[in-house]
Amino acid sequence: MMERRSAAVDLVRALRPAAPLPLALVMVLTLAICDVTAQQADTRSETNYAVPDLGSLPDDAQGRLVRRGRDLVTATYAHIGPEVSDPAKRYAGNNLACRNCHLDAGIKRFGLPLWGVSEEYPRYDAEVGQDISIEQRVNGCMKRSMNGRAMPTNAPEMKAIVAYLGFLSTGVTAGAPLTGKGAGNMPELDRAADPARGRLIYAATCALCHGLDGGGIRQGLPSMAEGFAFPPLWGPQSFNDGAGMNRLITAANFIHANMPDGTSYDHPQLSVEEAWDVAAFVVAQPRPQKADLALDFPDRATKPVDTPYGPYLDGYSEQQHKFGPFGPIREALKLLQAETAYPQTLQR
């Protein structure tokens, strides 16, 4: 189970500090780690979709809008974060950036890429139980991942983000089978993922960058709206409990395919088991709470098995929905969906 550990992880472990590192040293370490992973095949280009080059855009109104959209994705905190000077623009409730999760400004394969997305909307969203627009989907991340409030559809910042998402999907037709979307779908454990084992993996492999207290490492001083060099994974500056990253299956796959930062889907550095356990540790930590989560997924037969908050239709505990194993829950949901009481789910 440990055989896939790479030099980068060993490097992090060997250099693991007793106290937080000065930022400059952390930067040097990150570069060293990137070097190690660069020697492995860079498989980002192996997607069957070629992401268009921003440099090819003319310097006209549309080109500038798309570039502004990319800036909003990479430095969200500097434009619409809680520390920007204009209170009306403080949409996000934390100092994360979209690109902290949608890696490489939303283009990394299996790094929750944002290409092949906009043409899929409007589409049905089980969380709200109706069709939603791309703007509503962006606001889903604003209210949960960014722990903030919705931006109006006609806000210039929303228009810029939507223009960038559209640009990332240049030439893609709805329903086209693109590889590398999401964060992967690795095998599940037949036991519950174990936060106690995860804690040890976290201390050895993640704390160097994300901090032993999960608070990450800031860029600049608090109030300067400069975001994080290494984003927090829990605590007041993190995503809230209604966020996609707070669901175990999403977090474990994201971590396996992308962490420590620089890891690729084809060269994971954690074993599958380590990724499940460390993700369990992260989702078990305290974070901001979103109001009214019980109203999510009005059709409860479609509630994802790893939704960490109830109510549930299937009779399984919140604990099992948080940490698995998910197989038995899936079976119970299948039976429920087959009952005529839920014809609407059968049609989907």
C-beta of 96 vs 193, nearer to ligand HEC:
96
Q: How far is the CB of 340 from ligand HEC (least distance, A)?
A: 28
Element holding 131 (H helix, E strand): strand 130-132
Residue 39 corresponds to which amino acid?
Q
Q: How far is the CB of 232 from ligand HEC (least distance, A)?
A: 6
Give Rg (Cα) of the chain: 20
C-beta of 254 vs 312, nearer to ligand HEC:
254
Query: Pairing state of beta strands 228-230 and 217-218?
Result: antiparallel
Q: How far is the CB of 100 from ligand HEC (least distance, A)?
A: 4
Q: How far is the CB of 58 from ligand HEC (least distance, A)?
A: 24
C-beta of 28 vs 315, nearer to ligand HEC:
28
Place of tokens 């709805």: 174
Q: How far is the CB of 256 from ligand HEC (least distance, A)?
A: 9
C-beta of 98 vs 284, nearer to ligand HEC:
98
Element holding 319 (H helix, E strand): helix 318-323
Torsion of CA 267, 273, 279, 282, to 10 degrees: -120
Asked if 110 contacts 59 with a C-beta cutoff of 8 angstroms, the reply is no
Strand partners, 123: 132
C-beta of 39 vs 340, nearer to ligand HEC:
39
What residue ranges bind ligand HEC (CB under 6 A)?
A: 12, 30, 33, 73, 76, 96, 98-103, 112, 114, 117, 120, 137-138, 141-142, 145-146, 161, 205-206, 208-210, 230-233, 239, 243-245, 250-251, 254-255, 259-261, 270, 278, 282
Separation of alpha carbons 113 and 135, rounded Å? 17
